[in-house]
Structures are given as C-alpha cells and as structure tokens.
A = this chain, B = another copy of it.
Amino acid sequence: MAAPRDRVAAFGGMVWQVGADDPRRMVHGLKVALALALCSLFYYVHPLYDFTGGNAMWAVLTVVVVFEYTVGACLYKGLNRAAATLAGGALALGVHWVASQSGKELQPYVLTGSMFIMAAAATFSRFIPTMKAKFDYGVTVFILTYCLVSVSGYRADEVVFMAQQRLTTIAIGAFICFAVCTLVFPVWAGQELHVLVARNMDKLAAAAEGCVEDYFSDPAAVDAAAGEKPARRALSAKSQGYKQVLNAKASEDSLANLAKWEPGHGKFGFRHPYGQYQKVGAAMRCCAYCIDALAACVGSEAQTPAHIKKHLAGTCLALGRHLATVLREASGCVTSMTRSDRLGLAAADMNATAQELRDKLRCLATVLEEGEDGSPEAEQEHDAVTELRTSPLMEALPLFSAASMLLEVCARAELVIGAVETLATTARFKKADHDEKAALDTEAPVPAASAGNPVDAH
C-alpha cells in the first residue's frame, strides 16, 4: 500500500513545485476559467442570450482555442483565426457561386476538385519557414473554414446569414479573451524573452567565473577524504548554469516569434527589435560551448600540479572575475534598458587582463623552455625556476590548454557584448543615470562602491 501512496505524494509534490516555481501559471489557469465564466453569462443572463441567439457555444469555443499563456500567443492565434476564417469563408463562397453556375451535374466535381487543390496547396505551404513561423495556425483554420463552407451544401444566402451570427459571437469570445489576457496580470512574450536573455547572461557570467575557480581550487582535501587516486572532479552548482544557456534556443525562437504580435507595452515599443535578442542568444550559446570545453579541463584527469598552476592562478582568477563582470554589466544594460560606459570600461579591463595572461603564458613558457632569461618577469619568478626546471613541460600542458580556452571564452564574450551593443542601438536604450551624473560632475571622485559593479569600480 505504501508504494502507490508514495507515488501519489511524489506527483503531488511535483505539481506543487510547478506552481511554486512560477505562480503566474496558477494565475493563468484562473484567467482561462474567468474568461469561460464570462462567456457562460451569455447562456444565463436573458438579454445576453437573446443577443447571441443561443450561439454562445462559439464564444466558449473561441476562448478555449485562442486563450494562451502570453499576450503574444493569444494575439497570434486570435488574429490568425479571424483573418483565416474571413479569407477561407469568402473564397469558399466565391467558388460556391462559380460551381452553381456550372450546372447540377458538374457542381460536386468543381467543389471537390477546388477543395482538393486548395487543401493540398495550403497544407504544403505550412512547410515554408516564414509561413510556419507566422501563420501556421491560420493555415489550419483557413482549410477548416474553406472545407466546411464549400462542401456544406448550404445555399450562399443561408451561409452569409449563419456566418454573420457566428462571427458576432466569435468576436465577443475573442474580445473577452484579449481583455482578460491583457488586463489581468498580463504575461508579455517580449518581456519574457527580455528576462530570459538577461538571466541566461547572468548564468553564463557565474559559470565562467565558477569554472575558473573550480579549476584552481584545491582538490587535495576531497581526494584525501576519498582515499583514492584523483578522479574526475565534479563542477560546482554555480559552474553548471551554462547548460541552461545551451538549451535555450527553442524558447528564445518561440518567444521572439510571438513577441512580434504584441502591441507596445511599458518600455517595449511596437517595433522593438526582438530579433536582435535571438542574435544575443546565439552569441551566448557560442560562448557557452567554449565554457563547456573549459569545464572539461576542470573535470579532466590530466591536471597540472598545483605548484605550476599557482603561477597563473592569480591572473586567471582575475580574468574570470573580469569576464563575469563584463557579462553582468551587459546583463544589467539589457535588464535596465540603458547604455552604460561601464560596459566598455569593464571590457577594457578584461582585455587588459587577457593580455596580461598572454604575457604570463609567454613568460612561463620561456622559463620552462630555457630555464632563465634576462627579462624582469623571469627574475621575479626566479625562486620558482629551479623548482620548475625539475618538472617536465608535459605536466604544464593541461594548464596551457585551460588558459587558452579561457582566452577563447573571453573572445566570444566580446561577441556577446557586440550583440548587446547592437541591441542597445536598435532598441534606442537610454544613457544610464550614473553615467550622466558622472558627466555632470566630473570633478568629484567617483564613489568606490558604485552599484551593480562591486568588483570593478571606476
């Protein structure tokens, strides 16, 4: 008896979690129910019942089929349905008239033949990418309406009367639908996309920083506790966030397509460049692929000994922090829809540190290769040299690989910055307040702990 009870409890917990993760999902259920309850008034309130002539089922049907989670999806379906119903109905009536002119004998053949051609062409058109993205639902409704009207066998004047009555009811249903969806805790696809991209950028920042930290963290304690030879190290939870970025393409594409149907709302104008968010998303995924390769360096069995790692640890950790700062600045720009000089400054810091890492790499390589040279850097590392001479270069190779992977991650982060800057230009982000203040008040020292940028304050 315990097993089924446990399973029910587990399912219940999972359902609760789905609601707790995003309470708007529960609100959505209530919104659909509210819209249906409003439609049902057309059955129970006498004047309303008389107005629709008992056709209120079309209002209910419209609400169930058209009501979606985001405003964009709701409008996409509603507008597609309306346009396709009108187009399909009008075309079918035209063909109906042509068929009626061709005599009783031929009429069925004309009607069935035209339906055959229309249905085949419309179904095929759903495979065309632009049609698929924008009018997939409309094509289905078009075929449906065309077939029902053209084959129904009604006389044209009957159809026109019926259509008039039904269209009124459908319009009422659609109006209720849009009103509830837009006015009661609306969920905008555009805003969802906006938040998703910014949040993923934060995850990418945390993962990049986390991977570098994991790489240079001391696994000795863990290994000693396990009492075995060093196994593949697990990544910290923070470092794993990039995996969500890898799989975000489908959500981004769908949200961007739906957002284009939305009217202007809040900070999002009617022609907000949602397509550019997809490009930012693509640049982030490109960056995430490299972080995956960096994570492989962390997990690899072949590790450079700690006494060699420590020569690059400081610079690498600093670069990881700068990289995370750049991505967090970019995410902050997207979130607040502002342009900030700090993004450029953070990127410059990152590039300077990347150059420093390249120099350190060269220096370490020279030390390993030739033992000593006259450069000041080599002098500084003099104590380390004798130690390093005894370790084969082979042991240092995993470190070199990890460092160059980190440099590649930085190069790809710059592409993310570029995409964010294009977004800022096309969406006309405003200048950030703190930049304006700084410009007005250049004499005063900039406070050391400026908000949102705890690591690198300029």
- The chain A residues found within 8 Å of chain B, CB to CB, are 14-15, 18-19, 25-26, 28-30, 32-34, 36-37, 39-40, 43-44, 56-57, 60-61, 64-65, 108, 111-112, 115-117, 119-125, 127-129, 140, 143-144, 147-148, 151-153, 246-247, 249-250, 285-286, 289-290, 292-293, 296, 300, 361-362, 365-366, 368-369, 392-394, 397-398, 400-401, 404-405, 408
Cross-chain contact of A32 among B123, B129, B296 (Cβ < 8 A): B123
Contacts of A120 in B (CB 8 A): 29-30, 32-33
Cβ–Cβ contact A124 & B19, under 8 A? yes
Contacts of A128 in B (CB 8 A): 14-15, 18
Q: Which residue of B lies closest to A295 (CB)?
A: B289
Given contacts A15-B125, A28-B124, A369-B392, list 4 more A-B pairs with CB under 8 A.
A60-B151, A246-B289, A290-B296, A368-B369
Contacts of A119 in B (CB 8 A): 29, 32-33, 36
| Stoichiometry (number of copies) | 2
Cβ–Cβ contact A124 & B26, under 8 A? yes
8 A-B residue pairs with CB within 8 Å: A18-B128, A32-B123, A33-B115, A33-B120, A65-B144, A290-B296, A296-B408, A397-B400
Q: Do A148 and B60 contact each other (CB < 8 Å), given the known contacts A25-B124, A293-B289, A393-B368?
A: yes
Cβ–Cβ contact B401 & A28, under 8 A? no
Q: How far is the CB of A334 from chain B (nearest CB, A)?
A: 23
Contacts of A393 in B (CB 8 A): 365-366, 368-369, 393
Contacts of A57 in B (CB 8 A): 148, 151-152
Q: What is the CA–CA distance of A125 and B33 in the complex, to the nearest angstrom?
A: 13
Cross-chain contact of A127 among B25, B144, B392 (Cβ < 8 A): B25
Q: What is the CA–CA distance of A292 and B129 in the complex, to the nearest angstrom?
A: 26
Q: How far is the CB of A144 from chain B (nearest CB, A)?
A: 4
Q: How far is the CB of A36 from chain B (nearest CB, A)?
A: 5
Nearest 4 interchain pairs by C-beta: A29-B124, A293-B293, A29-B120, A33-B120
Contacts of A151 in B (CB 8 A): 39-40, 43, 56-57, 60
Q: How far is the CB of A359 from chain B (nearest CB, A)?
A: 10
Q: What is the CA–CA distance of A218 and B112 in the complex, to the nearest angstrom?
A: 64
Cross-chain contact of A400 among B60, B116, B366, B400 (Cβ < 8 A): B400
Q: How far is the CB of A382 from chain B (nearest CB, A)?
A: 18
Contacts of A39 in B (CB 8 A): 151
Which of A29, A144, A249, A300 has the most C-beta atoms of chain B within 10 angstroms of its own C-beta? A29
Q: How far is the CB of A128 from chain B (nearest CB, A)?
A: 5
Q: What is the CA–CA distance of A14 and B132 in the complex, to the nearest angstrom?
A: 14
Q: What is the CA–CA distance of A43 and B408 in the complex, to the nearest angstrom?
A: 67
Cβ–Cβ contact B61 & A148, under 8 A? yes
Contacts of A153 in B (CB 8 A): 43
Q: How far is the CB of A187 from chain B (nearest CB, A)?
A: 12
Contacts of A123 in B (CB 8 A): 28-29, 32-33
Q: What is the CA–CA distance of A279 and B257 in the complex, to the nearest angstrom?
A: 29
Q: How far is the CB of A10 from chain B (nearest CB, A)?
A: 12
Q: What is the CA–CA distance of A174 and B54 in the complex, to the nearest angstrom?
A: 29
Q: How far is the CB of A264 from chain B (nearest CB, A)?
A: 28
Which of A19, A290, A300, A397 has the most C-beta atoms of chain B within 10 angstroms of its own C-beta? A397
Q: What is the CA–CA distance of A133 and B405 in the complex, to the nearest angstrom?
A: 38
Which of A15, A40, A108, A117 has the most C-beta atoms of chain B within 10 angstroms of its own C-beta? A40
Cross-chain contact of A36 among B26, B115, B392 (Cβ < 8 A): B115
Cβ–Cβ contact B29 & A121, under 8 A? yes
Q: What is the CA–CA distance of A29 and B127 in the complex, to the nearest angstrom?
A: 10
Cross-chain contact of A397 among B14, B290, B404 (Cβ < 8 A): B404
Q: How far is the CB of A183 from chain B (nearest CB, A)?
A: 18
Contacts of A394 in B (CB 8 A): 361-362, 365-366
Contacts of A292 in B (CB 8 A): 286, 289-290, 293
Q: What is the CA–CA distance of A145 and B26 in the complex, to the nearest angstrom?
A: 22
